[in-house]
Amino acid sequence: MTLAPDPLASSGIVVVDKPRGVTSHDVVARLRRIFSTRKVGHAGTLDPMATGVLIAGIERGTKLLAHMVAHDKVYAATIRLGASTATDDAEGEVLCSADASGLEDGDIAAAVRKLTGEIMQVPAAVSAIKIDGRRAHELARAGEAVSLPPRPVSVYSFDILAVRREGQVVDVDTRVHCSKGTYIRSLARDLGAALGVGGHLTALRREAVGAFTLSDASSLPHLESHPALSLTLDEALARSWPVLTVTQEEYDALAMGKWLEPRGLKGVHAAIGPDGRAVALVEERGKRLATTFVARPSTL
């Protein structure tokens, strides 16, 4: 069967290996030039000091980003014990220091275990969370007091890879697998507080967002010389969610935002038509199998 030209051929996602020293917004600006379109966005902000997996949407792929933010994430992080900072990372002013050289490896491991699992976490003051319409980091860097309530997050694993000692500070290399909304700098802050010596983040690299890892990522210089989507919209949906194959009639109904009869599905699925193209993300709600995102609306 010959497929008709795909109006979404230029839509999809690009997995970028973000370099240190640039903002996520800077990456978006570069991608707009590379792909010659204003329709570029990103899912899950990385701070300038952080590197690694940043998922960007191109054209209609931008509509998918809100759903991809919900995926879990994996980070490699270095936590320095012995000092706390205003930003909970190495870029902030040191607020207080303490001699951490007496900490035993067992003490560190025990404190890490208490920060694993379902925990309540106070987000970092320099987070992107909005307070009365302004980002918390904007308020914090302007010298205003920022108070954020704790919220539940899931730290699925918090593994110590190495402990390195130098003078009065202790650097702990870790790998963290966590839910959306988890702040690694807050884990660093809380680990240092629990051990009574203060702590902050000195390095952070995001290794995975959901199914997308560093092996999928391209550097900005590579994209500038070889501009190409990492995955089409079809590939992104089929890779990120379980696939539900639908008939052409069902495909057409979903394209119009209509609901289907439930079929006992758990969680969100990517509905794929007979032609192999994704039409929507669907989820059962009561007695309906409803769309949560329509990739190919009938109006295209």
State the catalytic residues: 47
269 phi/psi in degrees, rounded to 5:
-130, 155
Q: Is 130 exposed, middle or buried (0-12, 13-18, 19+ CB in 10 A)?
A: exposed
Beta strands in the chain (DSSP E): 12-18, 40-43, 51-58, 73-81, 83-85, 94-97, 117-121, 130-131, 134-135, 151-166, 169-178, 199-209, 212-213, 231-232, 243-245, 269-272, 278-285, 288-294
Terminal Cα-to-Cα distance of the chain (whole angstroms): 21
Q: Under a CB-based contact definition with an 8 Å cutoff, are residues 88 and 184 in contact?
A: no
Contacts of 135 (CB under 8 A, 6+ apart): 127, 128, 129
Q: Under a CB-based contact definition with an 8 Å cutoff, are residues 135 and 77 in contact?
A: no
Tokens of 227: 């501009």
Q: Is 104 exposed, middle or buried (0-12, 13-18, 19+ CB in 10 A)?
A: exposed
Taking CA atoms, 159 is separated from 109, 152, 169, 254, 274, in Å, by: 9, 20, 20, 43, 44
Q: Under a CB-based contact definition with an 8 Å cutoff, are residues 94 and 115 in contact?
A: no
